[in-house]
Amino acid sequence: MNDELTSSTETKDSNWAADVPFLTLEDKINATKKASNDALKPLSESGSTVDKTTSEKNKGKNKSSKKGRKAYLIFLSSWLVTLIAIITVGLIYFYHFLEDYEIVYQESLPYHTMDKYMEVFNGDMSDVYELITDKPETSIYENKENVIGYMSLLLEDKKIEYEEAIESTDKIPVYNITADGYLIGKMNLKQASLRRSYDLPIYEKDSFEFYTDPGRSIRVKVPETCSVYLNDVKVSDASIYQTDTVNTTYFDEYTTLPAMKYYKVSDLYEDPKLKIVSSYGDEVKADFNNKTGVYEVPYFVSKETEEEMISFAKSAVKTYTQVITREVSNQSLYGIFTKNNEIVKSIILNDSSFKWFPNHKTTDIEDEIIEFIPYNEDAFYCEIKHTQHMLIYGVRPSDEITDTRFYYVKENGEWKIVHITY
């Protein structure tokens, strides 16, 4: 092949001058270079072909590489978008989960349950009473209405609050309830069998204790012939704590005097409605003694009998005073004293020792009842301040005052003086 190339070259070189006889030297040099280049052109073209083929192959590879890279980028982008979408949706769901969990968690806290129970204190006190686990005990004279009334009065215009107790736990929360800072009750909560979402607890009341103090009491003093009622319930003799009898034997022959009995009822939530009923079936008023703190009903009789007693007492004292002042004879004493009364005998026997009264005239009398006790229908006591206004010798004023204490009984249906104390 080289020989052919050489021959071809020589042939062209040997004829170039004849073909172009008038070329200059520079032209010849350029022509020679051109001929050389033309001679080498097949080799160059061959190399070019190889390079072109390689380049085309490389271009193909590059195109394939670009296509793969583009597909990869598309895939990667799609994957990232998908991943971001998944993460975003996951975060949204997680946020809603946290939000819902927080709501449920807050609702599961025990103090929210306490808040609901505390709302009861703003309403009717009977609702608070119904919350109490072990209802307060009452006596036979009271019922739950009295307890509710006591609670209402206790909490009136008070600020009701609660605080967690020291012994409180997550399973059994315990809260102290106060009124203006004073402890009035305790609420125990417990976890119910049902659960909230996320297995969070539901709290409910386990027990509620309201601290009650039935600290009221009442004492009543009445004759034994009377019956005592508290809130329309008759008080039994078991409540009698003291009995007073009339310490005198003056009446023993004629009648039995009723004793005075003292009743006491304690452990009451409210001041009871007091009613006293006499043996006649009439309601009797009791007066409160501020010194002793006792409701007292004195001995009493019917109004008619009382008027009869007082009328005789005034008459008897007047007669007695007239005997002493020598206005009537001693024989008048027999009409006002009981039969065979020793006092009458004593007055008659000691007649000479009595005060001497000169000639006088009684112009007026004045009676003041100091004390009157009608023990029963057949006996009474009466102290009368009897003032007898006199004129000595018809001109000199003088008063005779009798304040002797007289005891009276009925003898054979008539009132008589049975005893006197000076």
Q: Residue 76 and residue 80: Cα distance in Å, rounded?
A: 6
Q: Each residue of 149-170: pLDDT tens digit?
A: 999 999 999 999 999 999 999 8
Dihedral pair phi/psi, residue 175, rounded to 5°: -130, 135
- Mean pLDDT for each consecutive 10-residue tract of the chain (422 residues)? 42 45 58 62 51 56 67 82 89 86 86 91 92 94 96 93 93 94 94 89 93 94 96 96 89 93 97 94 94 95 94 94 84 94 88 64 82 95 86 68 88 95 84
What pLDDT is stored for residue 98 in this prediction? 86
Question: Which residues lie below 8 Å from residue 203, measured CB to CB, with a gap of 6+?
Answer: 108, 110, 113, 173, 189, 190, 191, 192
Roughly what angle, to the nearest 10 degrees, separates helices 25-108 and 2-19?
Answer: 130
Q: Do 380 and 405 touch, CB atoms closer than 8 A?
A: no
Buried (b) or exposed (e) across 50-80, using 16+ Cβ within 10 A?
Answer: eeeeeeeeeeeeeeeeeeeeeeeeeeeeeee
List the 227-230 sheet strands across, edge first: 233-234, 227-230, 274-277, 283-284
The residue count of the chain comes to 422
Question: Which residues lie below 8 Å from residue 202, measured CB to CB, with a gap of 6+?
Answer: 108, 191, 192, 194, 195, 196
What pLDDT is stored for residue 39 in this prediction? 56
What pLDDT is stored for residue 395 in this prediction? 60
Q: Each residue of 26-50: pLDDT tens digit?
A: 666 666 666 666 655 554 554 555 4
Q: DSSP E strands: which ranges in 89-171?
A: 160-164
Task: Give the Å distances, CA to CA, from 139 to 127, 265, 266.
Answer: 22, 9, 9
Tokens of 140: 């036979």
What pLDDT is stored for residue 54 in this prediction? 55
What pLDDT is stored for residue 50 in this prediction? 47
